[in-house]
């Protein structure tokens, strides 16, 4: 009915759930990579970090005398990409499906830089024996990120467009033939709760949950217009408040895929209530969602409609800032390690 992915960078947790058959895929994000980079107490995670730093420094040394000399900032960026891939490769040995790895979120407004970074991530995976068919490159669903996905998909690199909070983002992703989108129903609900006066804390039924309604609309549009783009919601909240943590998941049963954290996977496994399918292709086609942008929305129309969506713009900015914050924390740690290894390499034997 719906393929499940685990939202975690903890290898032990991923292994536990993969062994049950509940999940086939895994998604990571800058927070998970940062946690690995900062978890110096675990020998295995420390080895992933050390390998990434040594790789970056050695690459820099190998390029001495060429025109492509790496600065310290270049080495740090390469080490972080390598760390992300080291983590993803370790996950690929546990799950049999997709692994998602994110391009530096600071490149979200630069199409060409995003494309180049995505290609590097794929190259790093291939060097570790992981075929590109198993990797989803994560990009923020800005206009530039969506355009980067269009270029990459044409080159056989599959993309996961994340931080989707607006219907128009989903439409643009599908029209540009992105492999998959990750809308965030829980964060959409958060925004609508806070936008009410007085502030709302729950809704009467999951069917009234604005996050659920947004994801349903995206799914229905894709099926109505023959888009192959996969709808994979992530980030969940209890529609009716505490004690109803599975509300959104149950209300979107039948969507193509879901990525779910371990705590909710456990609740789902323990739940004995019937789980009827809510979304399906036949019913989606009956909604007759109107075609947007003539089937190929322009940048001007996208920017206007996205700007008019308060939830979309607010939550996108918030998400980008949060991911950048995690990347910058990791950068400080990696930079120190890069300097130490580079200095040691300069010392005579």
**Among 267, 164, 287, 161, which Cα is nearest to 220's?**
287
State the Rg of the chain over Cα: 21
Helix orientation angle between 299-307 and 310-346, rounded to the nearest 10 degrees: 110
* 300 is a catalytic site residue: no
Torsion of CA 218, 222, 223, 226, to 10 degrees: 170
In the chain, alpha helices (H): 11-18, 30-38, 43-62, 72-92, 111-127, 143-154, 167-175, 185-195, 210-224, 247-251, 262-270, 281-286, 299-307, 310-346
Which residues touch 82 (CB under 8 Å, ≥6 apart)? 51, 52, 55, 56, 124
Main-chain phi, psi angles of 140, to 5 degrees: -65, 140
Helices (H), 10-161: 11-18, 30-38, 43-62, 72-92, 111-127, 143-154
Name the catalytic one among 82, 138, 223, 315.
Answer: 138
Which residues are known to be catalytic? Answer: 138
């Amino acid at each position: 009915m719906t393929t499940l992915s685990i939202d975690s960078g903890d290898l032990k947790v991923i292994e536990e759930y993969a062994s049950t058959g509940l999940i086939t895929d895994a998604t990571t994000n800058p927070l998970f990579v940062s946690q690995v980079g900062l978890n110096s107490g675990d020998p295995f995670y420390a080895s992933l970090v050390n390998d990434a730093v040594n790789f970056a420094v050695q690459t820099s040394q190998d390029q001495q005398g060429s025109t492509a000399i790496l600065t310290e900032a270049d080495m740090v960026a390469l080490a972080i990409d390598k760390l992300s891939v080291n983590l993803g490769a370790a996950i690929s040995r546990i799950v049999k499906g997709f692994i998602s790895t994110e391009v530096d979120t600071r490149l979200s407004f630069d199409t060409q830089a995003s494309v180049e970074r995505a290609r590097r991530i794929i190259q790093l995976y291939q060097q570790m024996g992981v075929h590109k068919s198993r990797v989803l490159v994560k990009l923020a669903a800005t206009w530039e990120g969506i355009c980067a996905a269009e270029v990459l998909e044409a080159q056989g690199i599959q993309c996961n467009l994340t931080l989707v909070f607006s219907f128009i983002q989903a439409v643009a992703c599908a029209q540009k033939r992105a492999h998959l989108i990750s809308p965030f129903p829980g964060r959409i609900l958060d925004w609508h709760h806070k936008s009410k006066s007085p502030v709302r804390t729950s809704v009467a039924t999951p069917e009234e949950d604005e996050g659920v309604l947004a994801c349903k609309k995206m799914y229905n549009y894709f099926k109505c217009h023959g888009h192959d783009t996969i709808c994979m919601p992530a980030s969940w909240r209890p529609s009716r408040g505490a004690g109803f943590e599975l509300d959104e998941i149950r209300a979107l049963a039948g969507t193509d895929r879901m990525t779910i954290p371990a705590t909710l996977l456990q609740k789902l496994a323990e739940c004995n209530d019937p789980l009827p399918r809510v979304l399906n292709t036949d019913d989606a086609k009956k909604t007759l969602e109107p075609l947007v942008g003539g089937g190929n929305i322009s940048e001007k129309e996208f920017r206007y409609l996205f700007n008019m969506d308060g939830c979309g713009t607010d939550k996108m900015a918030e998400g980008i800032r949060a991911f950048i914050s995690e990347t910058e924390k990791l950068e400080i740690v990696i930079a120190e390690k890069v300097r130490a290894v580079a200095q040691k390499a300069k010392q005579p034997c």
